[in-house]
A and B are shown apart, each in its own frame.
Chain A
Amino acid sequence: MNVKNNNIESKRLSFWEKLYLPEVVRGLSLTFRQMFKPAITRQYPEEKWIPEGSYRGRPVLVMEEEGERCVACGLCSRVCPAIAIEVQAAETEKDKERYPELFEINMLRCIYCGFCEEVCPEEAIVMSKDYELVFEDREAAIYGKDKLLVPIAQLQDRLEFLRQYRNV
């Protein structure tokens, strides 16, 4: 097979192209026009980005009026690939019979994969829109129930998203 490949040699430039200057002027006009376009910069600490419902921020526990939804089944703890979740169950007088006495997520370990949310039978742990996670020491990075419980009203976007796409 002796097929001549015409792509090997690059195309010779014409005299006009060899001058460079016309193309340089075209480039300059482009950047000049660009100068008058509005900036797309978001000035972060003042202007915050509000994510969509599909965003996987820090995982939180859903809190309804009578308390958390969680029944302390421990599936999230089991499925967590980073072993970030620890749950200790206890009994309660309420209908659901069980509740988490201790629920801790180590935010230094969490990889925001959303498996805990996927596996949860009660839709009790969901990913929130919160992406500003700053701690001053490792102790502070372990979030207990005080930080994890979030009123259901703040999680409507995520719950709506889950309802639409969970079983697709």
Chain B
Amino acid sequence: MTIPEALIQVLITGIKIFMIFNVVLVAAAYMVYAERKVSAWMQERIGPNRVGPYGLLQSFADVVKLVMKEDIVPAAADKFFHTLAPLISISVAIAVYSVIPFGNFITIAGRDIPLSIAPDLNIGLLIVLALTSVGVFGITLAGWSSNNKYSLLGGLRSSAQMISYELSMGLAVIGVLMLSNSLNLNEIVKAQSGLKWNIFFQPFGFIIFMVAALAETNRAPFDLAEAEPELVGGYHTEYTGMKFGLFYLAEYANMLASSAIIATLFFGGWQVPFLPEILGLKEGSLILVLLQTGAFITKTLVFVFIFIWIRWSTPRFRYDQLMNLGWKVLLPLSLANIILTGIGITLWDYFTK
């Protein structure tokens, strides 16, 4: 009896979804730990060190605490949207991982299995941009449905901020698209083989994308949506228990996704420069796949660290400064970047052909 091809595909995709889902959630938990540890080191403290060796189980203790807490919904809140908002946040944050390639492909029993959930999606990068925009709904709905003016202000700020920075983010990516001629993230990675990383051709694009990514994920110095001195707790003021925990997880899942996308777009994703050629490894062999995934994870973690590092080094932007930076600086710069890239590519083609 042969198993139908469709069933095998569903099974493979299911296994990949299961793996990535768990990896992302555990990674998000450990990023909370990393954030606390790194901030502690920067402030000459020790950080969590009581739960488990070196405090490694701290995040799980926090999750257990959050699950056991009472779930309070304010009497005046819109109950349906109040419950929906954290679900939107977390599901959108995790959905982004469906298009990120964490390796080229692995050959198991004569079958090439691409290492991403939706490998042949030719609009991969658009999906990423679209999903991160949907993430705004979670935050805005949370602010609105809480029926609390501070939450609403937090939600409003975050939506205004995300819409402003979405533009620069999208435009900053266009330079990368022009170089690789594809929206498929795996094709973009393949176009960067042999240390032809986009960072060397698109330094401005990278800086703009990095700043916009900080604003997109609501991280400091752009964390106006949760500015404690002004807005109590921001959009999640009225959330308790695991609903708050979901927002918290979503923030870190978003941060991880942004880091992974930066690594993919500008730092060659799973590309390991030169080493496979020297060792003569075959595409699809287990060792090469491990090497590629390792390289991808390392690059991602470097950016996670940079995100945390920036958070504990910079003061929060004022609202007008934020809007100035978004509309008057980043948007013209990203447009200029597209023009420069276009001129560069035209000149390159003219002189090499």
Binds B, one of A30-38, A101-109, A155-163: A30-38
Contact across chains for B42 and A35 when beta carbons are under 8 A apart: yes
- Residue B45 at the A interface, CB < 8 A? yes
Contact across chains for B44 and A27 when beta carbons are under 8 A apart: no
A32 to B41, CA, bound (A): 9
Contact across chains for A32 and B44 when beta carbons are under 8 A apart: no
Contact across chains for A35 and B46 when beta carbons are under 8 A apart: no
Contact across chains for A27 and B41 when beta carbons are under 8 A apart: no
Taking CB atoms, residues of chain B closer than 8 Å to A28 are 309-310, 313
Partner of B41, one of A21, A24, A30, A34: A34
Count how many pairs of residues, one from A and one from B, have CB atoms less than 8 Å apart in the complex. 37
Q: Chain A 2-30 against B: per-residue CB contact (8 Å), 1 yes, 0 no?
A: 00000000000000000011001001101
Smallest CB separation, B168 vs chain A (Å): 15
Contact across chains for A41 and B45 when beta carbons are under 8 A apart: yes
Closest B residue to A26 using CB positions: B313
- Residue A39 at the B interface, CB < 8 A? yes
Taking CB atoms, residues of chain A closer than 8 Å to B41 are 34-36, 39
Partner of B44, one of A20, A24, A38, A43: A38
Smallest CB separation, B353 vs chain A (Å): 37
- Residue A40 at the B interface, CB < 8 A? yes
Contact across chains for B313 and A35 when beta carbons are under 8 A apart: no
- Residue B51 at the A interface, CB < 8 A? no
- Residue B352 at the A interface, CB < 8 A? no
Smallest CB separation, A29 vs chain B (Å): 9
Smallest CB separation, A32 vs chain B (Å): 7
Closest B residue to A29 using CB positions: B313
- Residue B118 at the A interface, CB < 8 A? no
State how many residues of chain A have any CB contact under 8 Å with chain B. Answer: 17
- Residue B40 at the A interface, CB < 8 A? yes
Contact across chains for A39 and B40 when beta carbons are under 8 A apart: yes
A37 to B40, CA, bound (A): 11
Closest A residue to B40 using CB positions: A39
Q: Which residues in window 35-72 of A have CB below 8 A to B?
A: 35-41, 43
A27 to B46, CA, bound (A): 21
A2 to B309, CA, bound (A): 50
Evaluate whether A41 and B46 lie within 8 angstroms (CB atoms) in the complex, with A31-B309, A34-B41, A35-B38 already known: yes
Contact across chains for B312 and A31 when beta carbons are under 8 A apart: yes
Smallest CB separation, A15 vs chain B (Å): 12
A108 to B28, CA, bound (A): 45
- Residue B43 at the A interface, CB < 8 A? yes
A40 to B41, CA, bound (A): 10
Contact across chains for A34 and B314 when beta carbons are under 8 A apart: no
A116 to B45, CA, bound (A): 39
Contact across chains for A34 and B43 when beta carbons are under 8 A apart: yes
A35 to B44, CA, bound (A): 7
Smallest CB separation, A22 vs chain B (Å): 13
A31 to B43, CA, bound (A): 8
Closest B residue to A37 using CB positions: B44
Partner of B314, one of A24, A35, A37: A24
Contact across chains for A27 and B45 when beta carbons are under 8 A apart: no
Q: Chain B 294-312 against A: per-residue CB contact (8 Å), 1 yes, 0 no?
A: 0000000000000001101
Closest A residue to B315 using CB positions: A27
Smallest CB separation, B330 vs chain A (Å): 11
Smallest CB separation, A142 vs chain B (Å): 34
Taking CB atoms, residues of chain A closer than 8 Å to B45 are 39-41
Could you pull out 16 A-B pairs where Cβ atoms are within 8 angstroms?
A24-B314, A27-B313, A28-B309, A30-B313, A31-B309, A31-B312, A31-B313, A34-B43, A35-B41, A35-B42, A39-B40, A39-B44, A39-B46, A41-B45, A41-B46, A43-B46
Q: Which 10 A-B pairs have the closest CB atoms?
A: A31-B313, A35-B41, A41-B46, A27-B313, A31-B42, A39-B46, A28-B313, A34-B42, A40-B44, A41-B45
Contacts A28-B309, A31-B42, A35-B42 known; 16 new A-B pairs at CB < 8 A: A20-B325, A24-B310, A24-B314, A28-B310, A28-B313, A30-B313, A31-B312, A31-B313, A34-B41, A35-B38, A36-B41, A37-B44, A38-B44, A39-B46, A41-B44, A41-B45
